Amino acid sequence: MRWWTRGFCAFLLLSSGWLRAAGPVDFGKAELDAAMAERKVKLRVDTELSLDPPETFRITLYKTGMVRITGGDLRGLMYGLIEAADQIRAAGRLKAVGGKPAAPVRGVRMELRSYDLTQPWFTSDDRWRAYFQTLARSRLNRLSLVLPFQQADIERLRTLSETAAEFGVDFILGIRTLVGDPDEMNARLRGILDNCPLIRGVQIEAGDEPVELYKDGVFAALRESGRRVTLDLRNPGDRPDLARAATASGTPLSPSGFEMDAPGPDFLGDHVQVYWNQGRRSYDPALQAAK
């Protein structure tokens, strides 16, 4: 079988119904279907991936009544479907629009304590699914979950990172404090990354630990993971030697962007409007925040 271009292959997959696994596009389609059912609107909607930049989308209307929603990638296509759902709910009809992100990273940083890891909400899959849905609707594309490293549960991290991927959210493991010697740090981090293939990056603080703990413990584990796992080094100005060491080692660095602290004390509480305002405006700064 001959493989064709990315956009044409994606068109075949999406339009023929072969794409059955849960993922960002499935969520976007479910949002649009629900909106049309609520407003009793019937539309013929065609979806496809385009060769536009990642996370962009277009909604195109035709005189025949057909609607085409395209995205530069799966996440962009999901954003286009969610935008169409928002329009249907608000006005009962669609208008031709497009979107492109102002910032490549639009994230939330959630810092947990040992106490939080014992709470029922932390182990509730339903609440986490609802949370990642909120991030997707807000066009927030990253969650940095910072937790005590030695208490990180691999099974829980795997479940959370898989759920995040369903809604187009990159799951980033945040490490508050490095532990042990370089070999111990490397083995512990490699164990997590090997068992959680959907962890997209690691966020660490530029602390005062020896540079070898970072180079041989963290940076080496990222390079040896067998996939692209980015490094987000917080406060690099405090340790310019670490930034130089990461670059020299070939460790992929996270792009810069927007990151908000998760509202508290109940991170999974009713903060939908806060996420929507912050996320949508980091995607499109010209957007007027809703009250």
Q: Is the pLDDT of residue 85 over 90?
A: yes
State whether 87 and 200 are in the same domain. no
State whether 50 and 118 are in the same domain. no
Q: Is the pLDDT of residue 16 over 60?
A: no
CA angle, residues 267, 270, 274, in degrees to nearest 5: 80
Q: Is the pLDDT of residue 106 over 70?
A: yes
Predicted local distance difference test score (pLDDT) of residue 280: 96
Domain boundary among 65, 84, 99: 99
State whether 120 and 234 are in the same domain. yes
| Between 281 and 20, the higher pLDDT residue | 281
Residue-wise pLDDT tens digits, 30-40? 999 999 999 99
136-158: average pLDDT: 96
State whether 91 and 117 are in the same domain. no
97-109: average pLDDT: 97
For residue 265, cis peptide bond before it (omega within 30 degrees of 0):
yes
pLDDT band with cut points at 50, 70 and 90 for residue 9? very low
- 286 is a domain residue: no
**Domain encompassing residue 209:** 105-276
Which CATH number do you get for residue 60? 3.30.379.10
CA distances from 236 to 48, 61, 175, 219, 253 (A): 40, 47, 15, 15, 12
Domain boundary among 75, 99, 123: 99
- 79 is a domain residue: yes
Distance between CA atoms of 267 and 265, rounded to whole angstroms? Answer: 6
- 243 is a domain residue: yes
pLDDT band with cut points at 50, 70 and 90 for residue 19? very low
Query: How many domains, the chain?
Result: 2
Percent of the chain with pLDDT over 90: 81
State whether 211 and 256 are in the same domain. yes
- 21 is a domain residue: yes
State whether 82 and 27 are in the same domain. yes
State whether 33 and 89 are in the same domain. yes
Amino acid symbol at 241: D
Distance from the Cα of residue 257 to its chain's centroid: 13
- 222 is a domain residue: yes
Residue-wise pLDDT tens digits, 157-210? 999 999 999 999 999 999 988 988 999 999 999 999 999 999 999 999 988 899
Distance between CA atoms of 283 and 82, rounded to whole angstroms? Answer: 14
Predicted local distance difference test score (pLDDT) of residue 290: 57
State whether 175 and 35 are in the same domain. no
- HEC secondary structure over the chain: CCCCCHHHHHHHHHHHCCCCCCCHHHHHHHHHHHHHHHHCCCCEEEEEECCCCCCCEEEEECCCCEEEEEECCHHHHHHHHHHHHHHHHHHCCCCCEEECCCCCEEEEEEECCCCHHHCHHHHCHHHHHHHHHHHHHCCCCEEEEEECHHHCCHHHHHHHHHHHHHCCCEEEEEECCCCCCHHHHHHHHHHHHHHCCCEEEEEEECCCCCHHHHHHHHHHHHHCCCCCCEEEEECHHHCHHHHHHHHHHCCCECCCEEEEECCCCCCCCCCHHHHHHHHHHHHCCCCCCCC
pLDDT band with cut points at 50, 70 and 90 for residue 3? very low
Which CATH number do you get for residue 115? 3.20.20.70
